[in-house]
C-alpha cells in the first residue's frame, strides 16, 4: 500500500494542473483600464481597485452574521444585540482586521443611540453599529523565557485608532483568580489539580496556592509532547478572549483569521483529532447556555488570502508589531501544517480555498454528548473507550476506580490527546519514574475547575452516567449573570 514520498516543491507530476500566475493580460480586471499591480488567485487588480475589492469581501462575510437571525444576503438593518470584541495579536491578519473594522464601522460615526432593536430599525449609517468596541490582546511571553513583552507596542497600535477600548491580558491569567472574578467567575473554594501522568487524568484537590505564572509553567512543562504547547496556548488564549467577550457584553467577537490561516487551522484541527469541531473552527456561538447572550465568533477575513492581507498592510502602511513566532510553534502540529500548506499552495494555488470549501460541506456525525470543560467546544463522549479499543495500553481493564474523580470524561478527544499523547522525542518513561509525586500535580485553568465541580454536583444529584448535561445548566461558577 505504500507509496514513496515526493518532495512537494520538486515534483511536477500530479493530477492537479499547474497554471500560470495570471490570466491573459496584465490589465486590472475591475476597471479594465489600469495596469495591474497585484495578482490574487489569477485575477489581476490595480492598486485603486484592490482596496474596494478587499473591503467588499470583508463586509460580505461579516455582515450576514451580525443580526441574531440572519435575514438573507441583502440585509438592511444591522442591530447586533451587544458590543464588539476584536481579538488582536499584532500579527498580519488581526492588524488588517483592526483597520478594516475601524474604517468600516467606527471612524467618523456617532455614538450609537441606545434604543433596542425593535425600535431602532433604521441603522443610520452615521451611527456606530456596535455601541462599544473592545480590542483584546493576550500576551504569551510568560510562557517562553526569552520572549519580549509586546503589550506596549500593541497598545500603541490600538490607541492610534479612536473609538477602541484596549483590554490587555496575559496568558497566565487563565490561572489567576483575580482575572476569573473580574470576568464574573465565582471565587473558587480551592482549585483543582490533575495528575497528568495517567490517561484517566485523576483529579486532586489543590494542595498549595501558587502564582498564576508558576501555575502556567507547571502546566506547560507537564505536557507530554512539545506539540502540545502551541495547541495549549491557543486554547488558553481563546478561552481568555471568550470570557472577556462575555464580560464586555459583546455579542460579536472577531478573529483576523484569513483564508490561508483558516485552511491551516482546519487541517491542523483534523490532524489533532478535532474533526468534530470543523464547524466551530469557522464560526461558533459560545456560552449561550442558560438563556444567556451567546458570543458569536466570526472570522470576517475568511475569504481573503494571506497575500491580500500583506498587500493591504503594506500599501496602507500598517505597522505589524506581533511578528515574532512562538519559539516552539514550528514544532507544533499547527507549525508543521502551516509550512506544508504554504509550500503546497505555491504549486497548487487553489489548495487553501479547496480545503475551506471541503470543510464547509462537512457536518458532525453525531449530536454532541456535551461541552468539553477545557476548550468549551461540543464534544463526543466515550473518548477513552475508543482509545483503549484502538491501542491497548494495559493488559488489565482501566485502573481508575469509579470513586476517583477524573478529568478524562469531561474532555473532548483533542484536549484529552493534547494532555496525554506522548512525543517520540521525550522518553516514554513509566508513569512513576518521571518527576516526584508533586511534580505530577498540574493546576488547571480556572474555568475547568468551575465546570467540573458543577458537573460533579449534577452527577451526584442525578446519578447520571452521561458525559455531560446540556440542559438545565446552572451557571458555571458565575456569581451573577452579566
Q: Which of residues 254-283 bind another protein (CB under 8 A)?
A: 256-257, 260-261, 266-267, 269-276, 278
According to CB under 8 A, which one of 82, 93, 142, 300 is a site residue for another protein? 93
Q: Does 333 bind another protein (CB under 8 A)?
A: yes
Q: Which residue has the cell 446540556?
A: 470
Q: Does 345 bind another protein (CB under 8 A)?
A: yes
Give me Rg for the CA atoms of the chain: 24
Question: Around 432, how many Cα atoms within 13 Å sit in the side-chain half-sphere?
Answer: 0
According to CB under 8 A, which one of 118, 119, 146, 363 is a site residue for another protein? 363
- Beta bridge partners of residue 167, listed in sequence order: 136
3-state secondary structure (DSSP) of residue 431: coil
Closer by beta carbon to another protein, 404 or else 428: 428
Q: All 3 cell numbers of residue 43?
A: 485575477
Q: Does 235 bind another protein (CB under 8 A)?
A: no
According to CB under 8 A, which one of 141, 213, 336, 469 is a site residue for another protein? 336
Q: Does 441 bind another protein (CB under 8 A)?
A: no
Least Å distance, CB 267 to another protein, is 7
Bridge pairing between strands 165-170 and 441-443: unpaired
| Per-residue binder mask for another protein (CB under 8 A), 375-414, x = binder | -----x-----x--xxxxxxx-----------------xx
Stretch touching another protein by CB under 8 A, among 200-208, 287-295, 316-324, 437-445: 316-324
Burial class (CB in 10 A: 0-12, 13-18, 19+), 49: buried
CA 333 vs CA 134, 269, 340, 347, 396: distances in Å: 31, 9, 11, 22, 32
Q: Which residue has the cell 496575559?
A: 170
According to CB under 8 A, which one of 213, 313, 400, 469 is a site residue for another protein? 313
**Could you tell me if 321 and 152 are in contact, meaning their C-beta atoms sit under 8 angstroms apart?**
no
Q: Does 424 bind another protein (CB under 8 A)?
A: yes
Q: Does 343 bind another protein (CB under 8 A)?
A: yes
Site for another protein in 98-137 (CB under 8 A): none
Closer by beta carbon to another protein, 65 or else 231: 231
Q: Does 442 bind another protein (CB under 8 A)?
A: no
Q: Does 24 bind another protein (CB under 8 A)?
A: no
**Across 234-307, where does the E strand assignment appear?**
250-254, 284-286, 295-298
**Could you tell me if 226 and 59 are in contact, meaning their C-beta atoms sit under 8 angstroms apart?**
no
Stretch touching another protein by CB under 8 A, among 3-11, 189-197, 205-213, 435-443: 3-11
Alpha-helix residue ranges (DSSP H) falling in 283-361: 306-315, 333-347, 351-360
Least Å distance, CB 344 to another protein, is 6
* Number of residues counted as binding another protein (CB under 8 A): 105
**Could you tell me if 34 and 27 are in contact, meaning their C-beta atoms sit under 8 angstroms apart?**
yes
Integer Cα distance of 305 and 53 in angstroms = 13
Stretch touching another protein by CB under 8 A, among 88-96, 132-140, 161-169, 399-407: 88-96
Closer by beta carbon to another protein, 40 or else 84: 40
Bridge pairing between strands 370-371 and 83-87: unpaired
Q: Does 7 bind another protein (CB under 8 A)?
A: yes
**Could you tell me if 98 and 88 are in contact, meaning their C-beta atoms sit under 8 angstroms apart?**
yes
DSSP state of 342: H
Integer Cα distance of 290 and 292 in angstroms = 5
Integer Cα distance of 212 and 443 in angstroms = 10
Least Å distance, CB 152 to another protein, is 17
Site for another protein in 33-52 (CB under 8 A): 35-39, 44, 47
Integer Cα distance of 362 and 355 in angstroms = 11
C-alpha angle 477-449-246 in degrees, rounded to nearest 5: 45
Least Å distance, CB 122 to another protein, is 34
Least Å distance, CB 297 to another protein, is 15
According to CB under 8 A, which one of 138, 359, 369, 407 is a site residue for another protein? 359
Of residues 76, 60, 79, the one with CA closest to residue 300: 60
Q: Does 230 bind another protein (CB under 8 A)?
A: no
Q: Does 342 bind another protein (CB under 8 A)?
A: yes
Q: Does 346 bind another protein (CB under 8 A)?
A: yes
Of residues 239, 228, 118, 223, the one with CA closest to residue 175: 239
Residue partners of 422: CB distance under 8 A and separation at least 6: 224, 225, 428
Integer Cα distance of 135 and 102 in angstroms = 11
Q: Does 217 bind another protein (CB under 8 A)?
A: no
Stretch touching another protein by CB under 8 A, among 74-82, 89-97, 122-130, 441-449: 89-97
Closer by beta carbon to another protein, 7 or else 126: 7
Q: Does 314 bind another protein (CB under 8 A)?
A: yes
Closer by beta carbon to another protein, 182 or else 331: 331
Q: Does 251 bind another protein (CB under 8 A)?
A: no
Stretch touching another protein by CB under 8 A, among 7-15, 132-140, 164-172, 182-190: 7-15
Amino acid at each position: 500500500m505504500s507509496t514513496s514520498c515526493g518532495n512537494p516543491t520538486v515534483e511536477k507530476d500530479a493530477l492537479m494542473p499547474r497554471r500560470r500566475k495570471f490570466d491573459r493580460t496584465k490589465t486590472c480586471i475591475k476597471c479594465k483600464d489600469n495596469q495591474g499591480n497585484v495578482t490574487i488567485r489569477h485575477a489581476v487588480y490595480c492598486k485603486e481597485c484592490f482596496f474596494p475589492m478587499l473591503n467588499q469581501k470583508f463586509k460580505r462575510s461579516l455582515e450576514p452574521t451580525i443580526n441574531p437571525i440572519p435575514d438573507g444576503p441583502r440585509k438592511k438593518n444591522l442591530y447586533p444585540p451587544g458590543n464588539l470584541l476584536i481579538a488582536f495579536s499584532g500579527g498580519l491578519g488581526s492588524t488588517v482586521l483592526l483597520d478594516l473594522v475601524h474604517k468600516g464601522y467606527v471612524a467618523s460615526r456617532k455614538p450609537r443611540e441606545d434604543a433596542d432593536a425593535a425600535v431602532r430599525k433604521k441603522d443610520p449609517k452615521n451611527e456606530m453599529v456596535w455601541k462599544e468596541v473592545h480590542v483584546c490582546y493576550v500576551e504569551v511571553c510568560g510562557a517562553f523565557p526569552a520572549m519580549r513583552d509586546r503589550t506596549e507596542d500593541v497598545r500603541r497600535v490600538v490607541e492610534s485608532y479612536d473609538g477602541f477600548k484596549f483590554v490587555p491580558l496575559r496568558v497566565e491569567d487563565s490561572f489567576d483568580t483575580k482575572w476569573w472574578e473580574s470576568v464574573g467567575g465565582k471565587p473558587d473554594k480551592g482549585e483543582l489539580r490533575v495528575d497528568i501522568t495517567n490517561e484517566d487524568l485523576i483529579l486532586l484537590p489543590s494542595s498549595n496556592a501558587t502564582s498564576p505564572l508558576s501555575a502556567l509553567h507547571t502546566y506547560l512543562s507537564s505536557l507530554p509532547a512539545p506539540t502540545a504547547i502551541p495547541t495549549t496556548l491557543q486554547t488558553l488564549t481563546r478561552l481568555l478572549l471568550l470570557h472577556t467577550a462575555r464580560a464586555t457584553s459583546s455579542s460579536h467577537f472577531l478573529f483576523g483569521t484569513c483564508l490561508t490561516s483558516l485552511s491551516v487551522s482546519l487541517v491542523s484541527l483534523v490532524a489533532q483529532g478535532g474533526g468534530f469541531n470543523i464547524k466551530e473552527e469557522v464560526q461558533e456561538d459560545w456560552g449561550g447556555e442558560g438563556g444567556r447572550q451567546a458570543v458569536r465568533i466570526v472570522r470576517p477575513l475568511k475569504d481573503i488570502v494571506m497575500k491580500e492581507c500583506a498587500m493591504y498592510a503594506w500599501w496602507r502602511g500598517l505597522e505589524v508589531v506581533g511578528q515574532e513566532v512562538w519559539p516552539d510553534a514550528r514544532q507544533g502540529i499547527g507549525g508543521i501544517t502551516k509550512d506544508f500548506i504554504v509550500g503546497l499552495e505555491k504549486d497548487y494555488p487553489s489548495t487553501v480555498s479547496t480545503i475551506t470549501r471541503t470543510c464547509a460541506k462537512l457536518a458532525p456525525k453525531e449530536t454532541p454528548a456535551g461541552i468539553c470543560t477545557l476548550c468549551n467546544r461540543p464534544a463526543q463522549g466515550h473518548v477513552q473507550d475508543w482509545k483503549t479499543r484502538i491501542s491497548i495500553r494495559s493488559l488489565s481493564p482501566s485502573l481508575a476506580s469509579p470513586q476517583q474523580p477524573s478529568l478524562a470524561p469531561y474532555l473532548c478527544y483533542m484536549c484529552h490527546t493534547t494532555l496525554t499523547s506522548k512525543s517520540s522525542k521525550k522518553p516514554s518513561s513509566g508513569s512513576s519514574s518521571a518527576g516526584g509525586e508533586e511534580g505530577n500535580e498540574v493546576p488547571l485553568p480556572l474555568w475547568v475547575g468551575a465546570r467540573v465541580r458543577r458537573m460533579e454536583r449534577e452527577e451526584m444529584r442525578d446519578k447520571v452516567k452521561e458525559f455531560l448535561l446540556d440542559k438545565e445548566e446552572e451557571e458555571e461558577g458565575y456569581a451573577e449573570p452579566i
